[in-house]
Amino acid sequence: MESKSKLVKRAKKGDTEAFQLLIHEEKEKMYRMAYMYMKNEEDALEVFQESLYKALNSIRTLKQNDYFSTWLMRILINTAIAALKKKQKFILMNNELYEQIGNVTYFQSEEHLDLLQAMDDIEEKYKTVLLLRFYQDYTVKQIATFLDCPEGTVKTNIRRGLEILRSKLKGVYFDDRQNSVVSGRNESYSCPD
């Protein structure tokens, strides 16, 4: 298979087949992130499609081919935030919605449900960095590139976001060991250097 860098070069020249191959590698991550923001399939698909449209129309503006994934995720995040602001709705996930999405593996544990409900109540800047770091497994450096901000700011927002989540989840669990975001992990996360 052709290297990602070569596919990006072809896509920048207007090759839609190369663009489709690039999107094929990114589509699952993009949809998961859109769903985390929008909380329902219809809105997530709309954000996903709008992001692809924007990316296709502006791929020629991508300056560094190696950052295609980062550039694409930034478009998706900005599109999701704009969609939320436009609709001026913040959907709290309820039990009925959880039952509808019960076949999605990372929503199956009670701890994840509590976490997602708590994340609905935190500021977007904390929510975004936490989703990118712990649901998409991006490094602090990658997140800083996505959001076009210093790594120190990302680390601070991760730390503050985790503190807010811990305080929201503290009353949910009786055992201090379970104050962590996900049961079975250490009580605190450390930001990678």
Question: Which of 60-74, 81-95, 100-114, 126-140 is predicted most confidently?
Answer: 60-74
- Distance CA(22)–CA(7), nearest Å, equals 7
Structure confidence at residue 150 as a pLDDT band (50, 70, 90): very high
- What pLDDT digit, counting tens, does each position of 34-76 carry? 998 888 899 999 999 999 999 999 999 999 998 899 899 999 9
Q: Please say if the pLDDT value at position 190 is more than 80.
A: no
Structure confidence at residue 186 as a pLDDT band (50, 70, 90): very low
For residue 113, the model assigns a pLDDT of 63
Q: Which residues of 131-149 are buried (b: 16+ CB within 10 A; e: fewer)?
A: bbbbbbebebebbbbbbee
Q: Please say if the pLDDT value at position 27 is more than 70.
A: yes
What is the rounded average pLDDT of the residues 136-158? Answer: 88
What is the rounded average pLDDT of the residues 80-98? Answer: 61
Which range is least confidently modeled, 28-42, 155-169, 176-190? 176-190
For residue 3, the model assigns a pLDDT of 87
Please check whether residue 135 is in contact with residue 32, taking contact to mean a CB–CB distance below 8 angstroms. yes
Judge residue 160's burial from the number of C-beta atoms within 10 Å of its C-beta, 0-12 exposed, 13-18 middle, 19 or more buried: middle
pTM score above 0.85: no
Identify which has the larger pLDDT, 172 or 157.
157
For residue 101, the model assigns a pLDDT of 44
Question: Which of 9-18, 98-107, 134-143 is predicted most confidently?
Answer: 9-18
Q: Which residue has the tokens 């120190």?
A: 152
Identify which has the larger pLDDT, 83 or 118.
83
CB atoms within 10 A of CB 109: 13
3-state per-residue secondary structure call for the chain: CCCHHHHHHHHHCCCHHHHHHHHHHHHHHHHHHHHHHHCCHHHHHHHHHHHHHHHHHHHHHCCCHHHHHHHHHHHHHHHHHHHHHHHCCCCCCCHHHHHHCCCCHHHCCHHHHHHHHHHHCCCHHHHHHHHHHHHCCCCHHHHHHHHCCCHHHHHHHHHHHHHHHHHHHCCCCCCHHHHCCCCCCCCCCCCCC
